[in-house]
Homo-oligomer: A and B are copies of this chain.
Amino acid sequence: MTIILGLDPSLSCTGWGVIRAEGSRISHIANGEVKTDAKAPIAERLHHLHDAIRAVIGSHAPDRAAAEEIFVNKNPQSTLKLAQARGAVLAACAAGGLAVNEHAARLVKKSVVGTGGADKAQVQAMLKVLLPGAAVAGADAADALAVAIADAHLSYSPLSR
């Protein structure tokens, strides 16, 4: 039995989702979004993300974390904000003793929906099937749950049961 924390970091709203994986079976534990005040200084926003993710780790004691690989966006300013947020969030994972698996976005979609080109609506529809009954906090929490599910699928091998 493994508890996996999926993360979708961004400066304005970082999604997180915790699932339980037992062999090929997964179930929902919790999910949420950490929002930061756009009017606050960036250092404070980053600290808030770091602190909040440390608290999530403290509450749910995951065994490992997973996040999508980062890439350079068309908008350089968005990329800089995203990468700084990711830095604060990944530091919080290591502070909580977690290794972080990184998965390409296409691989996450392929793993959850079956096709690497799936859109957000398809991912969210599959979450309802894969994690029945889970109340998902929002689009960023959904993305975080998706990366946690992908991490469970990608790590699962019948031999490792």
A6 to chain B, nearest CB (A): 14
Minimum CB–CB distance from A95 to chain B (whole Å) comes to 5
**Number of A residues, CB within 8 Å of B:** 33
Stretch from A79-87, A116-124, A132-140 forming part of the interface with B: A79-87
Q: Could you tell me if A43 and B83 are in contact, using CB atoms closer than 8 angstroms?
A: no
Stretch at the interface among A16-24, A47-55, A145-153: A47-55
Is residue A100 within 8 Å, beta carbon to beta carbon, of the partner chain?
yes
For residue A58, CB closer than 8 A to chain B, the reply is no
Would you call A56 an interface residue if the criterion is a C-beta within 8 Å of the partner chain's C-beta atoms?
no
Closest CB in chain B relative to A65 CB, distance in Å: 8
- Chain B residue with Cβ nearest A89: B87
On whether the beta carbons of B83 and A41 are closer than 8 Å, the reply is: no
Most B-side CB within 10 Å, residue of A43, A65, A71, A82: A43
Q: Does A99 contact B (CB under 8 A)?
A: yes
A94: Cβ under 8 A from any B Cβ: yes
A141 within 8 Å of B by Cβ? Answer: no
Determine if A70 is an interface residue (Cβ-Cβ < 8 Å): yes
Residues on B with beta carbons closer than 8 Å to the beta carbon of A51: 95
A43 close to B98 (CB less than 8 A): yes
Collect the chain B residues with CB atoms within 8 Å of residue A79's CB: 72, 76, 79-80, 83
A72-B79, A87-B88 known; 8 other A-B pairs, CB under 8 Å? A41-B100, A43-B91, A46-B88, A50-B95, A71-B80, A79-B83, A82-B83, A91-B91
Residues of A within 8 A of B (CB): 41-44, 46-51, 65, 70-72, 76, 79-80, 82-88, 90-95, 98-100
